[in-house]
């Protein structure tokens, strides 16, 4: 039987789980320490950030954090990862659904996420949950590693808006 997984707001007691998830995924230390710190610090700013954990028993098995930008009324997902032993069980989908709830609560127009162009798993995931490729940013992560942005808007524009002027 699958263990029960619940999505909760970030709680500091789970901080060590963040490290465990990312170490198992194979992230380098230079990315792990900031992720741990970000989760803790940003969770204090509830107006601008949603910081969420997927919890199974005593430990977190997934996390995500999302930021609201007032200037363009968009939200950005910054971090999303699921423990390798818990993948393909809908946990990331549930975390993103929670991020979208946060975005709608902020009355954002939509939500987007950047990921390395070579992150096949991540790209397939976002495509599977209905995100569309927005743009490719050459050399975003490293000189040899482009970034790709996936986005989802909560409303569609009237079709005439997309037509070129006569």
Ligand X SMILES: CC(C)(COP(=O)(O)OP(=O)(O)OC[C@H]1O[C@@H](n2cnc3c(N)ncnc32)[C@H](O)[C@@H]1OP(=O)(O)O)[C@@H](O)C(=O)NCCC(=O)NCCS
The DSSP secondary-structure symbol of 52 reads E
Of the candidate spans 10-18, 65-73, 122-130, 151-159, the one that interacts with ligand X by CB under 6 A turns out to be: 122-130
Is residue 60 near ligand X by the rule CB under 6 A?
no
Is residue 24 near ligand X by the rule CB under 6 A?
no
For ligand X, the closer of residues 16 and 157 by Cβ is: 16
- Of 28, 88, 107, 161, which one interacts with ligand X (CB under 6 A)? 88
Is residue 91 near ligand X by the rule CB under 6 A?
yes
Q: Which residues pair with 115 in a beta bridge?
A: 148
Residue 124 CA to residue 143 CA, distance in Å, equals 23
Is residue 92 near ligand X by the rule CB under 6 A?
yes
Is residue 125 near ligand X by the rule CB under 6 A?
yes
What's phi and psi for 79, nearest 5 deg? -140, 135
- Of 122, 134, 140, 153, which one interacts with ligand X (CB under 6 A)? 122
Is residue 38 near ligand X by the rule CB under 6 A?
no
- Of 24, 109, 121, 139, which one interacts with ligand X (CB under 6 A)? 121
Smallest distance from ligand X to CB 99, Å: 12
Is residue 55 near ligand X by the rule CB under 6 A?
no
Smallest distance from ligand X to CB 157, Å: 26
Question: Beta 59-69 vs 49-56: how paired, if at all?
Answer: antiparallel
Are 13 and 61 in contact by the 8 Å Cβ rule? The answer is no
Are 139 and 146 in contact by the 8 Å Cβ rule? The answer is yes
Is residue 18 near ligand X by the rule CB under 6 A?
no
Are 83 and 23 in contact by the 8 Å Cβ rule? The answer is no
* φ/ψ bin of 5: left (φ > 0), alpha (ψ from -120 to 50), beta (otherwise): beta
């Amino acid at each position: 039987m699958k263990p029960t997984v619940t999505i909760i707001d970030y709680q500091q007691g789970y901080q060590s789980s963040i490290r465990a998830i990312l170490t198992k995924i194979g992230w380098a230390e230079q990315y792990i320490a900031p992720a741990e710190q970000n989760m803790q610090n940003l969770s204090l700013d509830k107006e601008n950030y949603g910081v969420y954990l997927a919890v199974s028993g005593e430990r977190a098995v997934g996390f995500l954090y999302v930021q609201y930008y007032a200037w363009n009324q968009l939200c950005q997902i910054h971090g999303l990862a699921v423990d390798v032993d818990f993948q393909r069980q809908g946990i990331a989908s549930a975390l993103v659904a929670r991020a979208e709830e946060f975005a709608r609560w902020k009355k954002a127009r939509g939500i987007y996420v950047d990921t390395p162009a070579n992150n096949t798993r991540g790209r397939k995931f976002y495509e599977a949950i209905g995100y569309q490729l927005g743009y490719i940013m050459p050399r975003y992560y490293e000189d040899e590693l482009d970034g790709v942005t996936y986005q989802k808007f909560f409303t569609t524009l009237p079709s005439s808006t997309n037509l070129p002027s006569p």
